[in-house]
Amino acid sequence: MSKTIKITVLAVFMASFLFTGCTRYANEEELKVLNDQNAAVSKAETKLADIKKERRALEAKLAEKQKELKAAEEEKAAVTSRLK
C-alpha cells in the first residue's frame, strides 16, 4: 500500500470514532426505556404469580368437587342396588 492510502485509511478510522460518539453509558432516553421495561416485567411477573395462585385454588376446588361426585356416584350405586 502506498503511504497516502495508509494515511487515508488511518484518518477515516480515527474520524469514525469522533463521529460515532462511542460511549459505554446509556443516555436518559435509554435509561427511561429500560426502567419502563423493568416495570413491565415486574408487573407481568406479579400477574403471573397471581394467576398461578388462582389456578392452584381452582385445581383444589376441582379435586374437591370430583371427590364429592365420586361419593355421590357411590351412594347412588348403593341405593340402586338396594332397590333391586
d(CA 27, CA 38): 16
What pTM was estimated for this model as a whole?
Answer: 0.56
Give the CB-side neighbour count of residue 82, counting CA atoms within 13 A: 6
Q: Which tens digit of pLDDT belongs to each residue from 39-84?
A: 999 999 999 999 999 999 999 999 999 999 999 999 999 999 998 8
What's the pLDDT tens digit per position in 2-12? 667 767 766 66
